[in-house]
Amino acid sequence: MPTIKIDDADIQLGKGATARDVASRLPNKEDILVCRINGKLSDLSTEVKHGDSVEFLTFEDSEAQQVFWHSSAHVLGYAILNTYPGALLSSGPPTESGFFYDVKLDEPFTQSDYQRLEKEAKRIIKRNYVFEKLLKTKDELLEEYRHNPYKTHFVNEKVRAASTVYKVGAFSDLCQGPHIYSTGAIKSFKIQKNSSAYFLGDAKNASLQRIFGVSFPRKGMLEAFLEAQEKARERDHRRVGMEMDLFFFHPYAPGSAFFLPEGAAVYNGLVDFIKDEYRARGFQEVITPNLFDIELWKESGHLENYRENMFLVGDKMGLKPMNCPGHCIIFRHTERTYKELPLRLADFGVLHRNELKGALSGLTRVRRLQQDDAHIFCTRGQVQSEIEGCLEFLGHVYRKLGFSFEVLLSTRPEKFLGDVSEWDHAEDALRRALDKGEGRYKINEGDGAFYGPKIDIIILDALNRKHQCATIQLDFQLPQRFNLKFKRSDGGYEAPVIIHRAILGSVERMIAILLENYGKHLPFWLSPRQIALVPVGPSVERYAEEVFHAFSEFKIRAFDDESLTFNKRIRNAQVGGYIVIVVVGEKEQASRTLSVRVENETRTYGAEELLGILQWRVKNRMDLPGVEDLRISTE
């Protein structure tokens, strides 16, 4: 009788038992969607064997969400074929917040078709079809998809001899899985939108319809999601950026933002923040070229592994998509000794990545970007302490920006370079560094890069959305490709370890996340609209000018248009996103004070007192907690 382990408890099962049989014994069985068996994400229909370790996942787990939405995409594909018999399906993956299916239709797909498609999807769901995993040969797949050029392309490109497909009802799709057990787990299903999309994202290929949907395993979750989506639309960084005149895009430079003065102020505010931290933490800023000879990209491996994402100039030069090769050249420029390590090099150089035009999306997916990119060259014995420093650094930055975050440790993948012992030592160093910190992190087994384990940081915004920004990556291979060496204390030579790390990620993407998190009201120290000065009328004009000049070190604007009522000017300042509204009237002029509004609360301050408080807040990069707390906030 096989025995398996769940949460360190041993459970005995009958022969041939599946993970679903085990799940049926658990109190939360109705919520279980998928499982991990010995660390591998698996269907609930998978047979468990003696000694297996099984972990069950619910929708609250991000991996289970992706499986759930992937299964829902299959339901959508099934519904499309039933509703439009001549349709040709392409691919249907999950996304960060739902799923889509690309399809070639003979007729235009419009919003009027949504209800029809939803009705068919719900019929399929109600039938409670089981997701059945099958194995088919390449020849069988080519025969099955002989009338579908898109599926045929995937079979030819991705399948060698055979591949799994998942069958649900009369529908089957080329897929590696895993999936939920049956369609009945889907309790709500909605078509959200549709758009055009090129096959494989290439404008040279056929234009398809991309149909987006979302689904949930519990009723009520859809309503909450749609409410959050409406809030997200209101805070879309493209909308906020346009309303605040922060940035714009132009067809002459797709994927490259034009930052206007106030947008540049936010951009430079983030860069200056990181630069100040660099100086305090022993990083040295360098400047490296943008355009390199193709030989560098051959040496680094980018030409072989990253060519499609690079901008090449003829066949001899290429714009840099990353800073690490340039930093390796700096390290190799002169003989290095152990006394120089750790060597921490930072670079805000402009990077260019050839993202497909159809994938470009505001500031979140661009072609021209800058990162708070740094590379630490260190000995193996210094890895743990340097990782600890990186974790403390990113925690400090994210707290200043007002974000909470999750930590993921990604370990050795199936295909990797280097020795197992080297990987084990590196992973152990990362674990010790994480344990020494807050100690709360998840393991992503087998999700490391082929050249080293990594730590990914997922930040949570005000709408509880997740964004991956920071990364800390160990690299044993790049030092070998560039033949990097340092002289040890015993006179011998050794290759350093490289730690790739970025905290903001791209500055552009971080600005997008901040705008969608805060709307127009960014943290005071970072806001391009810190103070609005609103004089009551012409009689206080001279005092208002004194106040304006006294606070000129801040981003201040006077709302003194006499053609507008006082209340309208106050409203304009609020809607415009100004954090502190300073009102100057005859009473304030007589007492040499200021009436200060923060978040619709008002309090009187002396001009010098308020100036000192705000200066302290900006210097220490602290947000304003509210008008009542300003006086005590500097203590």
What is the CATH number for 629? 3.40.50.800
* End-to-end Cα separation, the chain, in angstroms: 67
**330-344, 369-383, 591-605: segment of lowest average pLDDT:** 591-605
pLDDT greater than 70 at residue 4: no
Structural domain count of the chain: 4
Asked if 495 and 627 sit in the same domain, the reply is no
Q: Give me 635's structure tokens.
A: 């203590």
Candidates 151, 235, 367, 500; catalytic one: 500
Return the structure tokens found at 124: 């399929």
Give pTM, 2 decimals.
0.77
Residue 1 has pLDDT above 50, yes or no: no
For this structure, is 375 an active site residue? Answer: yes
Identify whether 284 is part of a domain.
yes
Whether 238 contacts 362, CB under 8 Å: yes
- Among 43, 113, 373, 456, the active-site one is 373
Q: What is the mean pLDDT of residues 271-281?
A: 97
- Say whether 621 is catalytic: no
Give the other-Cβ count within 10 Å of 202's Cβ: 11
d(CA 76, CA 85): 14
In angstroms, the CA 615 to CA 554 distance is 9
Query: Interior CA angle at 86 toward 85 and 91, to 5°?
Result: 95
Annotated active-site residue 373? The verdict is: yes
By mean pLDDT, which of 393-397, 429-433, 441-445 is the weakest?
Answer: 441-445
Confidence of residue 237 (pLDDT cuts 50, 70, 90): very high
Q: What is the pLDDT of residues 139-167, one digit of tens each?
A: 999 999 999 999 999 999 999 999 999 99
Residue 123 placed within a domain:
yes
> What residue type is assigned to position 406 of the chain?
E
CA distances 440 to 67, 315, 409, 448, 605, Å, are: 24, 48, 11, 19, 43
Mean pLDDT of the region 200-227: 92
Quote the domain boundaries for residue 348.
Answer: 247-288+323-518
Structural domain contains residue 438: yes
CA–CA dist 328, 333 (Å, integer): 8
Residue 35 bears catalytic tag:
no
What pLDDT is stored for residue 2 in this prediction?
52
Residue percentage of the chain with pLDDT more than 90: 68
380: alpha, beta or left? (left if phi > 0; alpha if psi -120 to 50): alpha
Q: Residue 113 pLDDT more than 70?
A: yes
Residue 301: partners with Cβ closer than 8 Å, 6 or more residues away: 477, 478, 481
The pLDDT assigned to 507 comes to: 97
Calpha distance 351→321 (Å, rounded): 5
pLDDT at residue 15, rounded to an integer: 77
Arithmetic mean of pLDDT, 579-590: 93
The mean pLDDT of 569-585, rounded to a whole number, is: 93
Instruction: Write the burial class of residue 183 (CB in 10 Å: 0-12 exposed, 13-18 middle, 19+ buried).
Output: buried
371 is catalytic: yes
For residues 398, 435, 37 and 124, what is the CA-based torsion angle, rounded to 10 degrees? -20
Assign 256 to helix, strand or coil: coil
Catalytic residue among 209, 370, 371, 473: 371
pLDDT digits (tens, 9 = 90+) for 502-525: 999 999 999 999 999 999 999 999
Concerning whether 454 is annotated as a catalytic residue, the answer is yes
470-479 burial: b if 16+ Cβ within 10 Å, else e? bbbbbbbbbb
Same-domain check for residues 261 and 219: no
pLDDT at site 123: 97
Q: What pLDDT, on a 0 to 100 scale, did the predictor assign at position 428?
A: 87
Q: Report d(CA 244, CA 264) in Å as an integer.
A: 12
pLDDT digits (tens, 9 = 90+) for 320-369: 999 999 999 999 999 999 999 999 999 999 999 998 777 788 999 999 99
| Residue 353 is among the residues annotated as catalytic for this protein | yes
**Pair (408, 512) in one structural domain:** yes
Among 202, 234, 266, give the residue marking a domain's end: 234
Which of 136, 302, 320, 375 is labelled catalytic?
375
Residues 53 and 114 in one domain: no
Query: Of the residues 179, 353, 412, 621, which is catalytic?
Result: 353
What confidence score (pLDDT) does residue 46 get? 92
Do 544 and 404 belong together in one domain? no
Does 310 map to a domain? no
Q: Is 452 helix (H, G, I), strand (E, B) or coil?
A: strand
Q: Is residue 313 part of a domain?
A: no
Whether 83 and 229 map to the same domain: the answer is yes
Q: Which of 100-109, 227-236, 592-601, 618-627 has the lowest mean pLDDT?
A: 618-627
